[in-house]
Structure 1
Amino acid sequence: MLKNLLPSKPGTEPLAEALKACKSHFIWAAVFSALVNLLYLTPTLYMMQVYDRVVPTGGIETLLLVTAVAVFALASLAGLDWLRGRLMLRAGLRLDRLLSARVLQRVMDLQAKAPSTQALREFDNVRGAIGGQGMLALFDAPWTPIYLLCCFLLHPAIGLLTLVGGGILFTLAWLNERDTRPRLAKSIQSQNHAYAAQEAIAGQAEVVRALGMRQSSISRQIEQRRQATAAQADAQLAGGRYSGAIKFLRLVMQSAALGLAAYLAVKSEISPGSIIASSVLLSRAVAPVELLVGVWPSLVQGKASWKTLTDLFASTASVERERTALPDPRGRLQVEGVSVKFPDTENPQLRGVAFALQPGQTLGVVGASGSGKTTLARVLAGALKPQAGAIRLDGAEYDAREGDELARWIGYLPQVPSLFAGTIKDNISRFSTAVGVDQEIADRGAVKAAMAAGAHELILRLPNGYDTLLGPFGQGLSAGQAQRVALARALYDDPVLLVLDEPNSNLDQEGEAALMQAIIGASARGAAVVIIAHRAGVLARVDRLLMMRDGMVQLEGPREEVLEKMRATAPRAPGQPGAAPQRPAAPGAAPTSAPAQQQAPASAAPQPPRRSQ
């Protein structure tokens, strides 16, 4: 059974290793199950001894002796049954210890391919199936033929009754599995969709309240929950019909066994003690079948969840592959024909994007909304893997470094600051103490990064400074404060590549001046900087410009050359000398048109001399 569950696809090795680590639990549970099922013969043997030896002879001493033996055997049965249940529970806990972190790691690596928030729930289904009664029922099932053999030894007629009744029970169990399997699959899918929708709404509760969408959101969730509950009830009702039929048949068979045994005893073909024994043996022979029908939904769900985990690990096989340690990068970035297309979208978000950036250079990315700028930022930050092309840091593809090792050299500021529950210093240091970084080292790094971002004084003015505790999603800071803390996080540990997506969208004059100094400082120490922005205060200070349209690079080169080309292609107002008839605006001209880029807002810091190219 264990061998059949071992996955063999590349990338699923952790699953196979975790199952193998629980092999001893399964073996001992099987051994204890064998002893338990042997000891289940105790009531049968006890009754036969009482009716065949004690009652005819009146032997009290014999009664006391067989009673003592029976009590000891039943106590052993109870102890072994407790032990095997404990073993399976321990197996589930060991799987959790070995796999839970890896499951989360694989989920995070899915990115835009097939995002899933259900993986841990699927894993809990597997752990519940292993640690519950389902596995014990599977261990008991092979002993049904042993009990059937004992029935034949008691009398062929009783054995035949048990065989026929058992065959009918197995047929009902098979029909139950065939009938409930599609219903269970639909129920599981509906539940997953309902849970995912609830999590999504809960994550945007403030927006829902502000837009007056509470009732509509509740109505949608209730409808999804109703569909999931209906599917689950349908599966349970279908299984309940078979469970009721099986229970009815078992009781009828037990009564029939008593009647048949009584008839055989009257005919002197079996002893009186065999009357009760026949009923007990028949009950034990069919009990695993009845139990399996009862726990079948959890077993089916556990098997389906195990397949889901296998597919998850197979689709993220590159996460844990061995990699050669590479030298520290300097910040030379190469983007080679990168293309990205999200699932369920008609057009690709990026198409054949290519450019290069040297250490110390700054690149501004402009373009109209929907041109692919943010997608490009996510790809450059390593947050999103392209379907085609390659991104290289100092000549090595991103995949050549393990995810966290790569992220160590990249500073990323997304459009939404995305701070987490915890202290400000923990957010800036990327919670590095949780993976063994010394607290003092993390504290010094956080303060250094905050100073580089110009956020040190801002943080000190907070109630508890760097120890200020933030709520989920960075609650407790204004949008501008959160963006400056997120900038400090991006600068933590001096990354060689800095990717800033709309870094000044929430900043005031002081914040934008601090941002400019941070960019200048990062560039001065040799970091390559990529800035996506609409406000000219940042773009006026970049070395190079890249204009995007429909996911493709329209223009790329030194800033002044790109601006000149944009001016040449921009439409002129009617009535001006040389004005052409009205035509669509040049790609990326709004809101990042050439005039806007030439005039920095009053809030911008004084422009320093630009470095020569």
Structure 2
Amino acid sequence: MNNNMNRRSATVGLFSGLGKVWLGIGLISMLINILMLTGPVFMLQVYDRVLASGSVPTLVVLGGLALGLYAFYGLLDGLRSRILVRVGQYVDAHYSGLAYQVSTMAPVLIGNKAQQLRPVQDLDAVRQFLSGQGPAAIFDSPWMPFYLIIVYVFHPILGLVGLVGAIIICLLIGLNEWLTRKPTQEANRETGLRGQLVETGRQNAEAIHAMGMIGALRGRWEGLNQTYLQSQRVSSDRGLLFSTLTKTFRFILQSSILGFGAWLAIQQEITPGIMIAASIMISRALSPIEVAVGQWRAFVGARQAYARLKSIFGQMSEEQEDGMELPLPQKALTVDALSSGPVGLKKPVLQGVSFSLNAGQGLGIIGPSGSGKSTLARSLVGLLPALSGSVRLDGAELTQWAQDRRGEFIGYLPQDVQIFDGTISENISRFAPDASSDSILEAARLADLHEMITALPDGYETRIGSSGFALSGGQRQRVALARAIYGNPFLIVLDEPNSNLDSQGEAALAGAISAMKERGSVIVIIAHRPSALASVDHVLCLKEGKMQACGPKDEVLPKVLSPVPNQGAA
């Protein structure tokens, strides 16, 4: 199943392909509930036939028959549980990749709103509910009228008592839903905030430790955790209240059936066997309801998670449709009146930027802090949508290529250097499963990394990232540079690529840029140090999101270089 099919099917429903499975579970549930009559019928026969006749052979025959039916019931109940576990695993297996992709791409496509989204955790909540007792209780609950009808056939008074009890149980369920929905939502939101704070702390551990921030952040954590515990307490207390009420009322109702049944037996309107059978049937009728109430928090959480998944999958399908299989660009990059900005901002950061570059040319982008340089870089590689204007490669808009295919002709080095847990070779090759050793070695040599890598304990197989070998800032940036030029991409966008480099690293950067230009790549460099512009042909100066100058480097730099202060990313 390709990514586009995944997204389209997800917007219809996570369980749209499981119709036959649900039908099969429904049929199994029907047989299970019919077989649950074994106990009441057995007790009825024992009290009214065996005890009255004193026939041991009859008791043996009835006992053997009940034993066989119970064995069949156990087989079906176990089968249903196994199917539900596999339904949960099926949903997870088919949508976990999409959930990971959405989780990774959401911050780029929908901005700050993505901070509250946890698609992978939401999918886990759905799977855990499907694999638990909740779905079985849902399939069993509709059989409550079936048992009530049988009790009514035993005697109308017993049926009326059972009906009143069922109505009260349903009212309790309605109140449970009404009173626990909001606390459950708040508890889930606080859970997300706690996880976000923990992850932020782990990512910034060095700054926290060096600047003595741990005390303040610990106080913030404790305050947030107190709010979380309170919301969890409210949600749990209300859920437990209704679970206790339901269980208690079921005991009362079962005893009431016994009481009324005893009175009717004294009046000789029913037999003692019917009294016992009716009590057991009422208990069975309400048992799934009790289980459902006990699973209500999990049900509400899974339902909310399901709604969030459908919503975000739908947004991603609208924002990120796969493109056509166009040939890879080889000739030119054209930016025409481009206006762009982070998702969620009403006013674009970048306004009306235009330029064009042919194969083998390089452009340096300079400007003061907040001028839109990094916004332009993100727009060129498709991370930010064009609010107006266009980014075209060989005349075709960037969005006309499928996202996976863009990686074949785009190289990108973000200002915030990102290294993944894995080997150096995997990081350079972008984790491509079919990466060739020659391509990895070529990219490493262009970035002047080969000797540094071979000096490491495991060479190219040295693990780096948060759980691996600690690289210096300059080494990380050069690994990221090697990743950007891996595979000889046509468009290479480097956002402040020399911010952590020493003189040797800057020389390697200049050499890599020159080599890629000779091979026909278009190079775009975001820079605040003139040394990064040594290998470019043209310069574009931005100020407040607008072009101030654009043209050959020798003409533009003398006009704009002197007023440019120390700049950062936009």
TM-score band, normalised by the shorter chain? over 0.9
Residue 535 (str. 1) matches residue 534 (str. 2):
no
CA separation in 1, counterparts of 2:40 and 2:394?
A: 77
Q: In 2, are the aligned partners of 1:10 and 1:314 still within 8 Å (CA)? A: no
1:533 positional shift: 1.5
Partner of 2:501: 507
1:201-600 alignment, distance < 5 Å: 201-318=201-318, 321=321, 323-342=323-342, 348-433=348-433, 437=434, 441-472=435-466, 475-566=469-560, 586=563, 589-591=564-566
CA separation in 2, counterparts of 1:403 and 1:550?
A: 30
Ranges in structure 1 where 5+ consecutive residues have no aligned partner: 1-8, 571-585, 593-613
Q: 1:59 aligns with which of 33, 36, 55?
A: 55
Per-residue CA deviations over 1:14-35 (Å, capped at 9, x if unaligned) read 3547523333332221111111
CA separation in 1, counterparts of 2:324 and 2:344?
A: 36
Residue 115 (str. 1) matches residue 106 (str. 2):
no
Partner of 1:21: helix, strand, or coil?
coil
Q: In 2, are the aligned partners of 1:109 and 1:319 still within 8 Å (CA)? A: no
Per-residue CA deviations over 1:280-320 (Å, capped at 9, x if unaligned) read 11112222222221111111111111110111111111577
1:347 positional shift: 5.6
Residue 200 (str. 1) matches residue 200 (str. 2):
yes
Partner of 1:606: none
**Structure 2 vs 1, CA of residues 66 and 320 (structure 1 numbering), >3 Å: closer, same or farther?**
farther
**Structure 2 vs 1, CA of residues 346 and 198 (structure 1 numbering), >3 Å: closer, same or farther?**
farther
1:502 positional shift: 1.1
CA separation in 1, counterparts of 2:406 and 2:546?
A: 26
CA separation in 2, counterparts of 1:190 and 1:537?
A: 47
Q: In 2, are the aligned partners of 1:331 and 1:497 still within 8 Å (CA)? A: no
Please, what is the CA RMSD of the aligned residues?
2.1
1:475 positional shift: 4.6
CA separation in 2, counterparts of 1:475 and 1:562?
A: 43
Q: In 2, are the aligned partners of 1:22 and 1:95 still within 8 Å (CA)? A: no
**Structure 2 vs 1, CA of residues 208 and 410 (structure 1 numbering), >3 Å: closer, same or farther?**
same
CA separation in 1, counterparts of 2:103 and 2:333?
A: 27
Q: In 2, are the aligned partners of 1:429 and 1:446 still within 8 Å (CA)? A: yes
Counterpart AA for 2:88: G
CA separation in 1, counterparts of 2:328 and 2:345?
A: 38
- Greater relative contact order (CA < 8 Å, ≥ 6 in sequence): 2
Ranges in structure 2 where 5+ consecutive residues have no aligned partner: none
Q: In 2, are the aligned partners of 1:367 and 1:547 still within 8 Å (CA)? A: yes
Counterpart AA for 2:481: L
- Larger CA Rg, structure 1 vs 2: 1
Count of residue pairs the alignment pairs up: 559
Q: 2:39 aligns with which of 38, 43, 48?
A: 43
CA separation in 1, counterparts of 2:542 and 2:212?
A: 36
**Structure 2 vs 1, CA of residues 298 and 331 (structure 1 numbering), >3 Å: closer, same or farther?**
farther
Counterpart AA for 1:198: V
**Structure 2 vs 1, CA of residues 422 and 492 (structure 1 numbering), >3 Å: closer, same or farther?**
same
1:321 positional shift: 4.0
Q: In 2, are the aligned partners of 1:106 and 1:319 still within 8 Å (CA)? A: no
Q: Extract structure 1 runs of 4+ deviating beyond 6 A.
A: none
Partner of 2:536: helix, strand, or coil?
coil
In the superposition, the TM-score normalised over structure 2's length comes to 0.93
1:13-92 alignment, distance < 5 Å: 13-14=9-10, 16=12, 19-92=15-88
Q: In 2, are the aligned partners of 1:11 and 1:318 still within 8 Å (CA)? A: no
In the superposition, the TM-score normalised over structure 1's length comes to 0.87
Partner of 1:579: none
- Identity, % of aligned positions: 38
Per-residue CA deviations over 1:177-211 (Å, capped at 9, x if unaligned) read 11111121222222122222222222222222222
Q: In 1, are the aligned partners of 2:254 and 2:282 still within 8 Å (CA)? A: yes
1:41 positional shift: 0.9
Partner of 1:316: helix, strand, or coil?
helix
Counterpart AA for 1:465: G
CA separation in 2, counterparts of 1:548 and 1:320?
A: 29
Moved more, 481-490 or 15-24: 15-24
**Structure 2 vs 1, CA of residues 400 and 383 (structure 1 numbering), >3 Å: closer, same or farther?**
same
